[in-house]
Structure 1
Amino acid sequence: MKVLLTGANGYIGRRLKQTLLNEDVFLRLLVRNPKSLDSNLNAEIVQGDTFDMDSLERALEGIDVAYYLIHSLQHKNYKELDKQSAQNFLDAAIKKGVKRIIYLGGLGVKEHASEHLLSRIETGEILSSRPDKIETIWIRAGVIIGSGSVSFEIIRHVTEKLPIMVTPKWVNTLAQPIGVDDVIAYLNASKDLSIDGNLVVDIGSEKMTYKEMMLACANALGLRRWIFPLPILSIKFSSYWLNLFTPVPYTVARPLIEGLSSEVLIQNDNAKRYFSHIHPMKFNEAVKKAIKEMEENQVLSRWSDAGGGQDMWEKQHKHDPASAVLMDRQSIKLRGIPKETIYCTFCSIGGEEGWFGYDWLWEIRGWMDKMIGGAGLNRGRRDCRQLRIGESVDFWRVEDLSVNERLLLYAQMKIPGKAWLEFKIKGDELVQTAYFSPRGLWGRLYWYILTPVHYLVFRNMIRSILKKAQNDEQTK
């Protein structure tokens, strides 16, 4: 069987990719940036996207089963882009003789769905619109619980940070959560299912309100929490509330909150009929498994991978520091410290490790970013030791990574322009450069106002990196 996987760098895509690599299939990946994948990956790579028909048709050539795991939450025109992307994918799949499309969408009834859920439903309808030409298996899931999932991150952060919660009335809305491992199991099994025509499969575990989920999460964390719903709290207020207390930025929180007002319940029994061998774990079990993976540093993927949807529709090389017109450059001799140690040290930046000094200034900048709807610092890191291209480090994203040579971070905080932070080993020197491409007069003022702060922070940062690397080398 020849399988194409799209969205391979997303939260579900990364996990499904690992499962498919262990299956007896030929696997091909359609990605915008091949550098974001492991170099020794046992899969064929096609560079492109669903808006480039030539690359899309190349990716679908000779394919039996194609997974469609593409979606964007943040683009202001995401509904139309989602429709066009799905239509392009369907047309190309039919043209190339693909036998089956497998799509992961959301639970919900169209008549009562939020704008975000409606977009997911419309995408499924497009992909399922030609049963005479191609089969489509449409898996529909609601709240996905797993280490790094956006739903779990929201529930966990709110539960950990707020002993007493005054919440909107949506906490009493019913849903049927499901563990991420079960979602992957259904998606994987769908490629081998023997059916004729289209099939919609609703998946989930027990019915629960969001209030019950938060209390169950608190119990798994060994915490006591009190929740008091108030009907007067608006969607906008709730979105800002989540923005402040969770890693999820406002632009992602708002469509999610709008969707919480609608029940997301299973509408058919096809999961039991066609996948009787899969028994979804209970909510409590899924939460405990997610917590264990976090504690053991075994988080395979996060909702913010590849920008968390923020750059879903952007082209690959749009973020290029060569376009910067302002910079702060620091350099320091390695003093005999192996470059491997220096590299590991600057790649540990962010998250619990912090920013090598003046962390209180970074915290202030993170809160400022949160107040205006940005990501803030509390996205943290997926792994405290390893990095990969496309994943988040606080309010930065890993743009490029060359082992024992270079780390390039792209700023995702709210700023009047574009910014990068680069660490590069050149000969016997570590060169640290902050690049900035300002937008208009305010962008330039922003840079020059912060010049004294940059001098303190960046000058101290490179010295602290060398000092920590030196200490690490001595303790080996």
Structure 2
Amino acid sequence: MKVLLTGANGYIGRRLKKLLIAHKDIELRVFVRNKNSLSKEILENYEIVEGDTFDKEALKKALDGVDCAFYLIHSLNKKNYKELDKISAQNFIDTATESGVKRVIYLGGLGVKNSETSKHLLSRLETGEVLSSSKTTQTIWIRAGVIIGSGSASFEIIRNLVEKLPVMITPRWVETYAQPVAVDNVLEYLVSSLYLKYDKNLIVDIGSEKMKYKDIMLQAATALGLKRYLLPVPFMSINLSSYWLNLFTPIPFSVAKALIEGLKSEVTMQNDNAKEYYPQIEPMSYTDAVKKAVEEIEQNQVVSRWSDTDGTTWDQSHAKQINDAIFVDRKEADISSYDKEKLFKVITSIGGKNGWFDYDFLWEIRGIIDKALGGVGLSRGRRDHCDLRLGDCLDFWRVEDIKENERLLLFAQMKLPGSAWLEFKIVDDKLIQSAYFYPKGIWGRIYWYALLPVHYFIFTNMINNILKSCKNI
């Protein structure tokens, strides 16, 4: 069958793509905003269509001749995401119907509509309703709550809180019920939905045991071999809880707030369709899911993370912004006697637990300041200690461009009065390290000049230590 995968660079999409490739009976087509965000293997062996769900011509091209399509799209990072999600879903199901697509498979969230339903959850529910509105294209709507897996937002929050805080002051939402589900089970349900012998719309709620959020925290601590204590208090508002998560986990304030708002209402299963239509799938227990996630992290086998880019990476508009950058700090070094492959390997090892080639304490201070301002800070680290790919988050940077043995470009995602990039280029026998800054107003200019002394020491040491590290390989 011909299958279209959307959201292929997201947390679930990356993992699902890997599974679909292994199925020889599937002819896979991938729909992404930027094909350069895909691996060389995908680009060479699979059909790629560039565009997004707001471009109807691109949608027609993507859905033409498709039997089944996965809809793994949301616009949470945008201010008006609720309206955008509805438009996106309507465009998709309309075009799918016109193109004769037999089945759409959508991954949404557990929950019911009521006065306490958060804006984020309401958006996921409305998206499912829109996708289920076609009279000729069937929609299988898989609904999951707290997804437990290495790199998932939910698991990153739980793990970081449990590991960092022996005693946790918690708001009232810890008494709310949820049904966590292992990411491996989510993928099983999605893949199995391709082969389901059923021709009507279907809502399938999935999850393991029903438990309170406080038990989710405490059982995670037990699985990690830790003893933890919770002290519920009545005075923690949504904003205060969001800052708390932002401070102690890799989740930025905006995402933390959307998640916290959703904790007011239960996210539990409303039907038994998972058992009835997918009897072959045995849900993994919560404790086993936590242990497996930790094992993947320890063994550097994290396939995807919640912070993975949606594909809106390097393009000509960014190139123009860099060319227009008002401030540039450039260092150059002669590398005629260096192995360029080894040198690039050293460059791409930057960040996370590997550090920033000296003055790490200054980077940590900047990370603390960023967290205090509601930014991502340094706690995201790296997905993998060795491997780096386009779209990866790297502390408070994101990989915007990476060309083997030629170039690494990082875009700053910390709170800044402007836009910043850090670039490493190998050109002939030179290593060129450049920091670009495009200021926003007078505060952007003050920011740059105030940090000039710090930049001198950081960036001079950085290029020198990169060369030293290369010689030690």
Partners of 2:87 and 2:457 lie apart in 1 by 48
Q: Which of these residues, 196, 208, 214, is aligned with residue 211 of structure 2?
A: 208
Of stretches 463-472 and 107-116 in structure 1, the one that deviates more from structure 2 is 107-116
Asked if 1 retains the 8 angstrom alpha-carbon contact of 2:314 and 2:400, the reply is no
Partners of 2:283 and 2:53 lie apart in 1 by 32
Does structure 1 residue 458 correspond to structure 2 residue 462? no
Partners of 1:231 and 1:203 lie apart in 2 by 31
Does structure 1 residue 319 correspond to structure 2 residue 318? yes
Partners of 2:315 and 2:338 lie apart in 1 by 35
1:408-419 alignment runs, 5 A limit = 408-419=409-420
In the alignment, what sits opposite 2:133?
Answer: 129
The superposition leaves residues 319-351 of structure 1 with CA deviations (integer Å, 9 ceiling, x where unpaired) of: 332232211000111251210000000100000
Partners of 2:30 and 2:461 lie apart in 1 by 42
Of stretches 437-446 and 359-368 in structure 1, the one that deviates more from structure 2 is 437-446
Matched AA of 1:4: L
Deviation at 1:44, TM superposition (A): 0.9
In the alignment, what sits opposite 2:308?
Answer: 305
Matched AA of 1:127: L
Does structure 1 residue 258 correspond to structure 2 residue 257? no
Deviation at 1:51, TM superposition (A): 1.1
In the alignment, what sits opposite 1:186?
Answer: 189
Aligned pairs, number: 467
Partners of 1:136 and 1:315 lie apart in 2 by 34
Matched AA of 1:255: A
Deviation at 1:137, TM superposition (A): 0.4
Partners of 2:316 and 2:117 lie apart in 1 by 36
Partners of 1:12 and 1:220 lie apart in 2 by 24
Deviation at 1:172, TM superposition (A): 1.2
In the alignment, what sits opposite 1:468?
Answer: 469
Change (3 A) 1:316 1:272: farther
Matched AA of 1:5: L
Partners of 1:318 and 1:365 lie apart in 2 by 28
Partners of 1:322 and 1:92 lie apart in 2 by 39
Asked if 2 retains the 8 angstrom alpha-carbon contact of 1:36 and 1:390, the reply is yes
Unaligned 5+ segments in structure 2 are: none
Does structure 1 residue 355 correspond to structure 2 residue 359? no
Does structure 1 residue 80 correspond to structure 2 residue 79? no
Partners of 1:458 and 1:316 lie apart in 2 by 26
Does structure 1 residue 117 correspond to structure 2 residue 121? yes
Asked if 2 retains the 8 angstrom alpha-carbon contact of 1:154 and 1:247, the reply is yes
Partners of 2:83 and 2:451 lie apart in 1 by 39
Partners of 2:94 and 2:441 lie apart in 1 by 42
In the alignment, what sits opposite 1:426?
Answer: 427
Partners of 2:324 and 2:173 lie apart in 1 by 45
In the alignment, what sits opposite 1:338?
Answer: 339
Partners of 2:361 and 2:415 lie apart in 1 by 18
1:5-44 alignment runs, 5 A limit = 5-23=5-23, 24-41=25-42, 42-44=45-47
Deviation at 1:209, TM superposition (A): 0.9
In the alignment, what sits opposite 1:171?
Answer: 174
Partners of 1:46 and 1:448 lie apart in 2 by 44
In the alignment, what sits opposite 2:65?
Answer: 62
Partners of 2:190 and 2:269 lie apart in 1 by 17
1:86-97 alignment runs, 5 A limit = 86-97=89-100
Partners of 1:200 and 1:316 lie apart in 2 by 39
Of stretches 296-305 and 74-83 in structure 1, the one that deviates more from structure 2 is 74-83
Match of 2:141, SS state, is strand
RMSD after superposition: 1.2
Match of 1:140, SS state, is strand
Match of 1:28, SS state, is strand
Deviation at 1:293, TM superposition (A): 0.3
Matched AA of 1:217: A
Match of 2:17, SS state, is helix
Partners of 1:295 and 1:315 lie apart in 2 by 31
Unaligned 5+ segments in structure 1 are: none
TM-score (norm 2): 0.97
Does structure 1 residue 46 correspond to structure 2 residue 45? no
Change (3 A) 1:173 1:105: same
Does structure 1 residue 406 correspond to structure 2 residue 410? no
Matched AA of 1:319: H
Partners of 2:369 and 2:318 lie apart in 1 by 23
Change (3 A) 1:101 1:413: same
Partners of 1:28 and 1:232 lie apart in 2 by 50
Matched AA of 2:306: W
The superposition leaves residues 143-188 of structure 1 with CA deviations (integer Å, 9 ceiling, x where unpaired) of: 0000000000000000000000110011111100000000000000
Asked if 2 retains the 8 angstrom alpha-carbon contact of 1:32 and 1:316, the reply is no
Show structure 1 runs of 4+ deviating over 6 A. Answer: none
Deviation at 1:32, TM superposition (A): 1.0
Partners of 2:30 and 2:123 lie apart in 1 by 24
Partners of 1:127 and 1:236 lie apart in 2 by 32
State the percentage of identical aligned residues: 61
Match of 2:28, SS state, is strand
Partners of 2:34 and 2:449 lie apart in 1 by 34
Deviation at 1:239, TM superposition (A): 0.2
Partners of 1:430 and 1:212 lie apart in 2 by 52
In the alignment, what sits opposite 2:243?
Answer: 240
Partners of 2:314 and 2:110 lie apart in 1 by 30
Asked if 1 retains the 8 angstrom alpha-carbon contact of 2:314 and 2:401, the reply is no
Matched AA of 2:26: V
Matched AA of 1:144: I
Match of 1:447, SS state, is helix
Partners of 2:462 and 2:280 lie apart in 1 by 53
1:144-163 alignment runs, 5 A limit = 144-163=147-166
Asked if 1 retains the 8 angstrom alpha-carbon contact of 2:340 and 2:405, the reply is yes
Deviation at 1:315, TM superposition (A): 9.4
Partners of 2:264 and 2:280 lie apart in 1 by 32
Partners of 1:323 and 1:229 lie apart in 2 by 51
The superposition leaves residues 223-273 of structure 1 with CA deviations (integer Å, 9 ceiling, x where unpaired) of: 110001112211110000000000000000001001011100100010001
Match of 2:318, SS state, is coil
In the alignment, what sits opposite 1:381?
Answer: 382
Deviation at 1:13, TM superposition (A): 0.2
Partners of 1:277 and 1:194 lie apart in 2 by 14
Deviation at 1:36, TM superposition (A): 1.1
